[in-house]
Amino acid sequence: MAKRYSALSLLRHALQPSSPWPRAWRSPAPKSSYDVVIIGGGGHGLASAYYLAANHGIKNVAVIERSYIGSGNVGRNTTIVRSNYMIGGNTPFFEFSLKLWEGLSHTLNFNVMLSQRGQIGLAHNPSQMDVLARKGNIMRLHGIDAELLDRGEVMKLLPYLDYSDAARFPVVGGIIQHRAGTVRHDAVAWGYARAASDLGVDIIENCEMTGFLMEQGKVVGIDTTKGRIRAGKTAIAVAGHSSHIAAKAGLRLPVESHLLQAFVSEPIKPLVHHVVSFGAELYYISQSDKGGLVFGGHIDGFANYSQRGQFPKVQTVAECAVSLMPCVSRLRLLRHWAGIMDMTPDGAPFIGRTPVPNLYLDGGWCYQGFKAIPASGWTFAHTIAKGEEHELNRCFSLDRFAKGGELDDHGSGNWTYKQ
């Protein structure tokens, strides 16, 4: 068992740099059977395992990860967390998630470095201001913080934007959620892994799931590169690979896998103190603790598992950056990379049961899956433990299209391949 981190343990290590920190989680060989096996050791898989053990006392659990913990999208995203969603279902879910983020470092005894620097969405014409006002009102009715900003207030907070008469998109105003911000993404994977492992969950890295074990139409386990593992319940949490894995159980999903890229500039002195999103395109920017400007935009736009971004997106995102902030035009791009994501017809996820007995699915996360990790893990664990949905994930069912329950939250930034 890992020792709890404390100010004293940090000090002791600082004074004895030669003694290494103990491993943060155990590295066991897989047992032949578990109560629950979770496929995918990303943020969602690890959080679900942790809440199964912590909230429901189900500790005979394995998380199977084909690579290493944190190698997937949990370590590839732009780390933004916020709860400024507008439609029923999304609003309470993402606010619950943000509340869990606010206590997560304490819960996990691992500093996930939540930085509530505030997220500002910009408006470039009066009708966009109306939309932001409506969104802010809906949020405040749900007890979520939101504040409308006029042009002068935006100029004070974000003096580096283009306010000249030549600006391609004039800034009319914006909206701020002060409690939104960023989280250290690797720490989320490491923190959940360590806390889950402490409670008895087996985290099995470098172990790929290769097929389902089916008996009388029910899933009773999985085959992996480390052998066969039987399971009472099996859960899929593989981010962009949901279709590929579900197909092995004969399931077709309302999902296309697409690439999303992220970009980091060379480090500069502190300039961008918030998370800022451009109202004229899907483009957003923040500054990392190391000084790099981190930015992202739209998906590449066609189904893809290759995890290699295409150049035209680099260009579009750079164009957005320069039209919003001309001062970055001579900054060099240090790195860009891509992650594979499930895109759904309405931009909302799936957390719940599937038509196949004993098989559960958490996927379809499109653009918003990082901020969702705590609430998704919490509600998915509830569904797996009880065999039925939590009130917060009932709306994310796989059959919502058949039932007319689409959750299309365009007003707050979910765009699907339909665009």
Partner 1 sequence: MLRITCPWCGERDYSEFRYGSEVKTRPAPGTGDLKTWHDHVFLFDNPKGPTREYWQHVLGCRQWLVLERDTATNAVGKAVPARDAASKSGAGR
Ligand X SMILES: Cc1cc2nc3c(=O)[nH]c(=O)nc-3n(C[C@H](O)[C@H](O)[C@H](O)COP(=O)(O)OP(=O)(O)OC[C@H]3O[C@@H](n4cnc5c(N)ncnc54)[C@H](O)[C@@H]3O)c2cc1C
- Between CA 81 and CA 119 the distance in angstroms is 9
- Between CA 240 and CA 353 the distance in angstroms is 18
- Check if the beta carbon of residue 203 is closer than 8 Å to that of residue 196: yes
Which of 71, 105, 107, 310 forms a contact with ligand X (CB under 6 A)? 71
User: Is the four-CA dihedral 97, 41, 340, 255 of positive or negative sign?
Assistant: negative
Q: Is 274 in the site for ligand X (CB under 6 A)?
A: no
Least spacing, CB of residue 203 vs partner 1, in Å: 25
Q: Is 61 in the site for ligand X (CB under 6 A)?
A: no
**Beta strands 293-303 and 256-265: pairing type?**
antiparallel
Name the residue nearer to partner 1 (CB basis): 120 or 260: 260
Least spacing, CB of residue 212 vs partner 1, in Å: 16
What are the backbone angles phi and psi of residue 344, rounded to the nearest 5°?
A: -110, 160
Name the residue nearer to ligand X (CB basis): 114 or 209: 209
- Between CA 177 and CA 83 the distance in angstroms is 8
Stretch that binds partner 1, among 275-283, 284-292, 308-316, 408-416 (CB under 8 A): 308-316
Q: Is 115 in the site for partner 1 (CB under 8 A)?
A: no
Which of 84, 119, 128, 304 forms a contact with partner 1 (CB under 8 A)? 304
Q: Is 225 helix (H, G, I), strand (E, B) or coil?
A: coil
- Check if the beta carbon of residue 371 is closer than 8 Å to that of residue 90: no
- Check if the beta carbon of residue 93 is closer than 8 Å to that of residue 394: no
Q: Is 413 in the site for ligand X (CB under 6 A)?
A: no
Stretch that binds ligand X, among 7-15, 85-93, 249-257, 259-267 (CB under 6 A): 259-267
Name the residue nearer to ligand X (CB basis): 34 or 370: 370
List the structure tokens of 164: 């000249």
**Binding partner at 38 among ligand X, partner 1, none, C-beta below 5 to 8 Å by kind:** none
**Beta strands 80-81 and 181-182: pairing type?**
antiparallel
Q: Is 370 in the site for ligand X (CB under 6 A)?
A: yes
Least spacing, CB of residue 303 vs partner 1, in Å: 6
Q: Is 244 in the site for partner 1 (CB under 8 A)?
A: yes
Which of 365, 378, 380, 396 forms a contact with ligand X (CB under 6 A)? 365
Q: Is 254 in the site for partner 1 (CB under 8 A)?
A: yes
Q: Which residues, other chains included, contact 48 with Cβ-Cβ below 8 Å and sequence gap of 6+?
A: 38, 235, 237, 362, 376, 377, 380, 381, 384
Least spacing, CB of residue 260 vs partner 1, in Å: 15
Name the residue nearer to ligand X (CB basis): 42 or 279: 42
- Between CA 127 and CA 418 the distance in angstroms is 23
List the structure tokens of 413: 């930034």
Q: Alpha carbon of 57 to those of 50, 63, 113, 388, 393: distances in Å?
A: 10, 16, 28, 17, 21
Least spacing, CB of residue 300 vs partner 1, in Å: 9
Least spacing, CB of residue 363 vs ligand X, in Å: 8
Number of neighbours of residue 105 by Cβ within 10 angstroms: 17
Q: Is 304 in the site for ligand X (CB under 6 A)?
A: no
- 281-312: buried (b, 16+ CB within 10 Å) or exposed (e) per residue? bbbbbbbbeeebbbbbbbbbeeebeeeebeee
- Check if the beta carbon of residue 136 is closer than 8 Å to that of residue 147: yes
Stretch that binds ligand X, among 74-82, 300-308, 378-386, 410-418 (CB under 6 A): 74-82
Least spacing, CB of residue 98 vs ligand X, in Å: 11
- Check if the beta carbon of residue 395 is closer than 8 Å to that of residue 407: yes
- Between CA 166 and CA 172 the distance in angstroms is 14
Query: Within 41-147, where are the H helices?
Result: 43-56, 90-108, 126-141
Q: Which residues, other chains included, contact 215 with Cβ-Cβ below 8 Å and sequence gap of 6+?
A: none
Q: Is 42 in the site for ligand X (CB under 6 A)?
A: yes
Least spacing, CB of residue 310 vs partner 1, in Å: 6
Site string (311-350) toward partner 1, x via CB under 8 A: xx--------------------------------x-----
Stretch that binds partner 1, among 86-94, 116-124, 161-169, 237-245 (CB under 8 A): 237-245
**Binding partner at 301 among partner 1, ligand X, none, C-beta below 5 to 8 Å by kind:** partner 1
Binding site for partner 1 (CB under 8 A): 241, 243-244, 247, 252-257, 301-306, 308, 310-312, 345, 401-402, 417
Binding site for ligand X (CB under 6 A): 39-45, 64-67, 71-74, 76-80, 208-209, 237-239, 241, 245, 260-262, 296, 339, 341, 365, 367-371
